[in-house]
Amino acid sequence: MATHIPDSPKVGMVSLGCPKALVDSERILTRLRADGYAMSADYAGADVVLVNTCGFLDSAKEESLAAIGEAIAENGRVIVTGCMGNEAEAIRARFPAVLAVTGAHQYEAVVEAVHEAAPPSRGPFIDLIPQPSETDIKLTPRHYSYLKISEGCNHACAFCIIPQLRGGLVSRRIDAVLREAEKLVAAGTRELLVISQDTSAYGVDTRHESREWHGHQVRAHMTDLARELGQLRTPQGAAPWVRLHYVYPYPHVDAVIPLMADGLLTPYLDIPFQHAAPSVLRAMKRPANEAKVLERLKSWRAICPDIAIRSSFVVGFPGETEADFQYLLDWLDEAQLDRVGAFRFEPVAGAPANDLPGAVPEAVKEERYARIMAKTEAISAAKLAAKVGRTLPVIIDEVGEPDEDGDIGATGRSQADAPEIDGQVLLRNVPATLAPGDIVEILVEDADEHDLFGVITRG
């Protein structure tokens, strides 16, 4: 008599928000697969749908609520997790049919809720399911991976509620981070994107404790981590790109610039400056707001001329005057940042900034947003135009189909471009053997405000 193997219950996932939330989604799905669940790519095939929410801005909350509503309409069996989990009452009031609500990175609570909503199969072969490592399920392409080194944040920025949502800084063990990175690279990752709420503060909570790694002691510190990641090699012997995100400009950041000049790190820093006017920075309660950033940028570029600096800025913060905003524009002229994102200030429930005087009218926010984007696009266009005629390494993200003439195009990124947030490199007439994850040398033939255009010179 044949033994009946029960069907695995299927879980769907909608993941919203930042890369840190995406890593949470990967870990949740990995644990569920270890319990015998299968993954569903659509609502119709799922026994239960997880919605991993973002709660950083009110606009992000509305997007999250819309996603919950769609999941309920399309499937009906929905579990909510993520940063909006601390607003369980509001979610249940709007969507009474939600099965459970859990908070950010509460993996065990999410898994338990799924077990209750769609019990795992119990059969004679379930215990034979391989128990995967936490890197086994990826929601990003195979060739790049996010490496989360800590949770939470110790800062008290006036516009932010992340510490309320995710708690204070909790750093992962340095050996655990390096082990995960090593496994990712061995499995095909060509680019590691180091993420956290504050990468520069990594290890502060553990007093930068040391752990043994491959026969020597390594501290839980950003510079030690960066140096060790720079030693990783793919199975083919190539060094993966290592990109640092969410780096506050503490003094020890200076120590990673020589690692970039030596080729151990990708010459790229993502630094959330948020503003430049001293009065606005004080009102924001930004850390390190007295740092002489412009002088440091010059020194970094002297050490590593190809370094690309990305940042983000808030316009229309309460009390921001026209003089403050003009100060920011003049600062950007001086700083010549490579990549810039701008955001209109939004009040967020629970943020201290909501109580500050001097609210900026919406029309003024829009006008300032348009001006800062015009300024940064002009700077970007000039910096990219200066790359025309140069040869640069590019990592391939996507290869197209042949056109009517048989020519194949491809999309990639230079070392100055992080996935999803920066520009692209658009390539013509690439070989049919080209694949995502390949790193090739290209000749830059043209540029616009955001992207480069070129042709491969060497694979």
pTM confidence score: 0.78
Burial class of 62 by CB neighbour count within 10 A (0 to 12, 13 to 18, 19+) = exposed
Tally the C-alpha atoms within 13 A of residue 332's C-alpha that lie toward its C-beta. 28
Looking at residue 138, what is its pLDDT?
A: 63
Q: Is 302 helix (H, G, I), strand (E, B) or coil?
A: helix
What are the DSSP calls for 81-143, one per residue?
A: EEGGGGGHHHHHHH-TT--EE--TT-HHHHHHHHHHHSPPP--TTGGGS----TTSS-SS-TT
- The number of beta carbons lying within 10 Å of the beta carbon of residue 350 is 13
Residue appearing with tokens 């950033």: 293
What's the CA gap between 382 and 394, in Å, rounded? 20
Burial class of 29 by CB neighbour count within 10 A (0 to 12, 13 to 18, 19+) = buried
Burial class of 282 by CB neighbour count within 10 A (0 to 12, 13 to 18, 19+) = middle
What's the CA gap between 214 and 303, in Å, rounded? 30
Residue type, 27: R
Looking at residue 161, what is its pLDDT?
A: 61
Looking at residue 1, what is its pLDDT?
A: 43
Q: Give the residues across from 194 on adjacent strands.
A: 147, 244
Average pLDDT for runs of 10 along the chain of length 459: 61 84 82 84 90 80 90 92 84 91 81 87 46 53 89 74 73 95 93 93 95 96 96 93 93 94 95 92 73 88 97 94 96 96 84 82 96 96 97 96 90 95 94 94 96 90
- The number of beta carbons lying within 10 Å of the beta carbon of residue 38 is 15
**Domains of the chain: residue spans and CATH:** 10-128 (3.40.50.12160), 144-385 (3.80.30.20), 391-458 (2.40.50.140)
Looking at residue 38, what is its pLDDT?
A: 87
- The number of beta carbons lying within 10 Å of the beta carbon of residue 5 is 11
The contacts of residue 37 (CB under 8 Å, 6+ apart) are 8, 9, 10, 11, 114, 118, 120
